[in-house]
Copies of this chain bind each other. A is one copy, B any other.
Amino acid sequence: MARSESELILVAGGAGFIGSHLVARLLDEGREVLCLDNLQTARPSNLRLLQGRPGFRFVEHDIVLPLPETVTAQAHRITRVYNLACAASPPQYQADPEHTMLTNVVGTHHLLRLAEKAGARFLLTSTSEVYGDPEVHPQREDYRGWTSCIGPRSCYDEGKRAAEALTFDYARMDRAEIRVARIFNTYGPQMHPDDGRVVSNLICQALSDRPITIYGDGSQTRSFCYVSDMVDGLIRLMEAEDPALRQQPVNLGNPVELTVRDLADRVVEMTGTRNQVVYLPLPQDDPRRRRPDIGRAAELLGWTPVVTLEEGLQKTCAWFADELAMDREVLAAE
């Protein structure tokens, strides 16, 4: 698609893991992208991959604060607003729970108001965490979830639920055209090596000399979506026209479920590590099972993931191996 000077896509959180892949893909398609990020959890190297690319512009900004003039002055050109801004792993979002809650509620509110002013379509990346520790399996979008609103995960889980509520209210009031994705576990290159998420944890441990850590007995399950599939789903959701999408969130994730123990075994086999496996206590409110029902995405977006776990893990391991090698070179040179 040719780049149009008149259309601009805003991506909040565009320097984060999924955000940077989304921005790269939009630039590949010839789009002009305005990336907002507070660089709280973003990797500077993700941003360096984007900077200098034609059509890319970066504004360092925390969406908890009112949007800066540099952004609002562009409102007339903005046709799409993607909100991917929020620390997403428990150690990161629990480090400043007040900020996590405000990012989800106040930040989403600022972006919704921008979308309203711009007449742009707004997409919220919500999360499978709105299902909490689910009592039904797999999780369909009409399942209301089982979250604690008083526990240490609540700043994120309840923050995202509140963000969804606000977003659907904007649609009910006809103030913005909206889309809501509930993102399940996603992995791939450009993940933060230290964000405490299971795939990056296991791979980085296997590729270094640290023990492989498994929380609980490893029998809890997860479903892992490769990042290119996730980005494809997000763009399809944003561009799909079915009116049902104004009232309904859509699960995006890979329905292939495996235990954390199985995942660890695969990583161990793929990397050939001989590191010790260590079992640690399960964190409070850690969900036991997680698998998306993606029937709605298949029906309304024509989307299903296509990258196998084998293929995705290999790409991710290869990328982390390169990253760690570069880190070692940098350390050796210092």
- Which A residues fall within an 8 A CB radius of B? 97-98, 101-102, 105-106, 109, 130, 132, 144-152, 154-155, 158-159, 161-162, 164-166, 168-170, 172-173, 180, 247-249
Q: Nearest residue in B to A130 (C-beta to C-beta)? A: B149
Which of A130, A154, A158 has the most chain B CB within a 10 Å cutoff? A158
Out of B102, B169, B180, name the residue touching A98 (CB < 8 Å).
B169
Knowing A98-B109, A162-B162 touch, does A144 contact B155 (C-beta < 8 A)? no
Task: List 8 other contacts, CB 8 Å, given A101-B162, A144-B146, A150-B168.
Answer: A97-B173, A98-B109, A102-B105, A149-B161, A150-B180, A150-B249, A154-B161, A159-B162
A-B contacts, 18 listed (Cβ < 8 Å): A98-B173, A101-B109, A102-B105, A105-B106, A105-B162, A144-B146, A144-B149, A145-B149, A149-B164, A149-B165, A151-B168, A152-B172, A154-B169, A158-B162, A158-B164, A159-B165, A161-B162, A162-B162
B158 touches A165 (CB 8 A): yes
The reply to whether B98 and A105 contact each other, CB–CB distance below 8 Å, is: no
**Which B residues lie within 8 Å of A161 (CB)?**
149, 154, 158, 161-162
In whole angstroms, how far apart are the Cα atoms of A123 and B150 in the complex? 15
Give the distance in Å from the alpha carbon of A300 to the alpha carbon of B166 in the complex: 36
Whether the pair B154, A165 counts as a contact (CB closer than 8 A) is yes
Contact yes or no, A165 B155, CB < 8 A: yes
Please name all residues of chain B whose beta carbon is closer than 8 Å to the beta carbon of A169 when the two chains form the complex: 97-98, 101, 154-155
Of chain B, the residue at the smallest CB distance from A108 is B101
- Contact at B150–A248, with CB atoms within 8 Å? yes
How far, in Å, is A44 (CB) from chain B's closest CB? 28
Residues on B with beta carbons closer than 8 Å to the beta carbon of A180 = 150
